[in-house]
Chain A
Amino acid sequence: EVQLVESGGGLVQPGGSLRLSCAASGFTFRNYWMSWVRQAPGKGLEWVANIKQDGSEKYYVDSVKGRFTVSRDNAKNSLYLQMNSLRGDDTAVYYCANMINGYWGQGTLVTVSS
């Protein structure tokens, strides 16, 4: 059974940092590009970042470039998102996803507020 389990969300002040993690199982993690997708309260889905199988290529939505960093550890079947200089409009549920196969985690809520 495929599982993607996110963790690391929470309440953070504007300007603060958080690191999200995603533990993958049930498929060969190292063979796939992986993504982070977020959904602000009451809003639609927004792709945030992508990382290639070996971590050599990374892409980001314009609004997070220079603030967020995606990484992975294939030995641990894990995906990460380091989020710095957080802003109120970063408040969202963050999903870890294998977009090619349509595997999604349950999401972790990040709230940026003072």
Chain B
Amino acid sequence: QAGLTQPPSVSKGLRQTATLTCTGNSNNVGNQGAAWLQQHQGHPPKLLSHRNNNRPSGISERLSASRSGNTASLTITGLQPEDEADYYCSAWDSRLSAWVFGEGTKLTVL
């Protein structure tokens, strides 16, 4: 099954802003949006944003999600050391009847 496209890595400085992207098609991201997950080494994924771009309770207001067409974006402002992690997007693909994931973006905070 085809996945979503994410850049393999993004590096930004402390307190800077990072924008991560996730590109799919009209059957997945363009249809019902994409959720964003954060994963630290050795830990399970953690939901940062629902497919409707809403943050679950407890998620920092420094994170915001959006979508334009078939591309979803996650913006993290005021980068902190704890933001250094792998970030995945996920979407339901209505043609495949499958959840699809991006390959993940490794965010490095310099």
Contact = CB atoms under 8 A, between A and B. Distances in A.
A105 B90 contact: no
Contacts of B103: 44
Contacts of B47: 101-104
Give the interface size class of chain B.
20 to 34
A50 B99 contact: yes
9 contacts: A44-B102, A44-B103, A44-B104, A45-B101, A47-B98, A50-B97, A95-B44, A99-B99, A102-B46
Given A44-B103, A44-B104, A45-B90, A62 B45 contact: no
> Secondary structure at chain B's binding surface: helix, strand, loop or mixed?
strand
Nearest to A105: B44
Given A44-B101, A45-B104, A59-B97, A99 B90 contact: yes
B35 interface: yes
